Amino acid sequence: MRALALSALLAVLLVPTLSSIQPSAAPITKAPAHKTKHALKAETFAKGLVHPWGLAFLPDGRLLVTERPGRLRIVGKDGKLSPPVSGAPKVHASGQGGLLDVALAPDFAASRTIYLSFADPRDGSRTGTSLARARLAGDGEGAALQDVKVIFRQEPSYASSNHFGSRIVFARDGSLFLTMGDRYSARDEAQNPANHLGKLVRLTAEGAPHPGNPKREGWRPEIWSIGHRNVQAAALHPQTGRLWTIEHGARGGDEINIPEAGKNYGWPVITYGRDYSYAKIGEGTHKAGMEQPVYYWDPSIAPSGAAFYTGDLFPEWKGNLFVGALAGQALHRLVLDGEAVVGEERLLGDLGERIRDVRDGPDGALWLLTDSPDGSVLRVVPR
C-alpha cells in the first residue's frame, strides 16, 4: 500500500512538470527543409573584433563595425581594422549592453551622417536604449565622430543590462525605425503604450515622432507598434518596402513579424514560448486584438541580424530572408511565398559561431558578424 501511495504521489507531482515542457497548443510553424543547390563557403574578411554587433557598408567599399565594449571601427577593403574612431558616445558595456547598431543616413555620401544605437548609462544603475546622430570625419587613423547628438532616448530608464533591442532601419521615405526591448524584468510594460519598453518607434531623421505614426489615445506619438519582447533583427523588404522584425522569445517563441501601425504583437500576454523556469507566460497563444507572428521557432534559435538577399552570386536565394542565430549558432535561410514562410534551411552550423549580424552586401555576398571576444566579419560566397 505504501508503494502504491508513493507511486500515486509521484504521478501527481510529475504531471505539471511534464506538461510544462510540452510545446504550446498551436502547431509549431516549421517550414519544409530546403537545401541550397550550390556549395558555399564563409570567408574570414576581418578578425580581432570584440563582440561586434552592427555593420554598415561605406560607399567606397569599406565597412563600419561596432564593438559592444564601445568602439566603432572602419574595416578597410583589405580587412584591416582601423584604430577606434574617436568621439563615440559613452555606453553601458555590461550584459547585453554596449555600442550596438550602426546605420548610414540615406544622404551619407553628401552629409557623412551616421546613426548609432547604444545602451545609455543614465542615473545611478539605470540604463536605456538611445539613438545618436554624428558626422563621420576623416579616414583611417584620423577618423572621428563630430557633432555627436543623442536624438532619442528610451523612457523610462531601467536598472537592467538586458533587452535593449536596438536595430536601426531606414524606411524608403527617409524616416527610421528603432527597435527597443522590454528590459527583461519589466516585460509587462510592453503592453503599456505610454512608454518605450518593448516597443517599435518610427522617427524622423532628427529623432522626432514621425507624422505618419498611428494616433491612438494613450500612445506616445513616436510609437509604431507595441507588445514586443526584444527585437535584435530587422530588415526592409526590397520589393514591398515593409519592415520585417525578428524577436527573441523566452524558452521558445522567437517570432517573425511584419509590424503594422497601431498594432499589438502580444508580448507577454500571448507567446509561443515558456519562461526559462518552464512556467507558462501570459494567457496562451491567441487573443483578440493581438497579432499572430508570420513564423516562429520552438525551440529558440536566439535570432540576431536579418537581411533579404538581392544579389546575383546565389540566384536561388533571391528574395529569401536570412536570420542569424546566437544560441542556434547558424545562419537560417527562409524561403518566402509573398509574406508566408514556405521553406527553411540551416546554414553554417559547422562553424560553431554565434551569428550576431547579417547584411546583404553590394558585392552580391552575404556578410556576417560573429559574436565572440575574438569576433570576425565573414563573407558568404560560392565555393
> In angstroms, rounded to a whole number, what is the distance separating the alpha carbons of residues 44 and 42?
7
CB atoms within 10 A of CB 338: 7
Backbone angles phi, psi at 54, to 5 degrees: -135, 150
Q: Return the closest-CA partner of residue 171 out of 92, 225, 240, 230.
A: 240
- Grid coordinates belonging to 209: 515622432
51 given a catalytic annotation: no
Supply the Cα-derived Rg of the chain in whole angstroms: 21
> How many Cβ atoms from other residues are within 10 Å of residue 139's Cβ?
13
Closest CA relative to residue 237, chosen from 335, 307, 322, 318: 307
Rounded Cα distance, 311 and 358, in Å: 14
Q: 343 - beta bridge partners?
A: 335
Neighbours of 292 (CB within 10 A): 17
Q: Report residue 330: phi and psi, to 5°.
A: -165, 175
Block residue for cell numbers 546605420: 103
> Would you call 90 exposed, middle or buried from its count of C-beta atoms within 10 A (0-12, 13-18, 19+)?
exposed
Q: Are 357 and 24 in contact (CB under 8 A)?
A: no
**String of DSSP letters for 158-227:** BS-SS-----EEE-TTS-EEEE---TTTTGGGGG-TTS-TT-EEEE-TTSSBPTTS---TT--TTEEEB-
For 380, residues 6+ apart whose C-beta sits below 8 A from its C-beta are 40, 41, 42, 43, 331, 347, 348, 365, 366, 367, 368
The residue from 51, 163, 210, 332 that is catalytic is: 163
Residue positions annotated with a catalytic role: 163
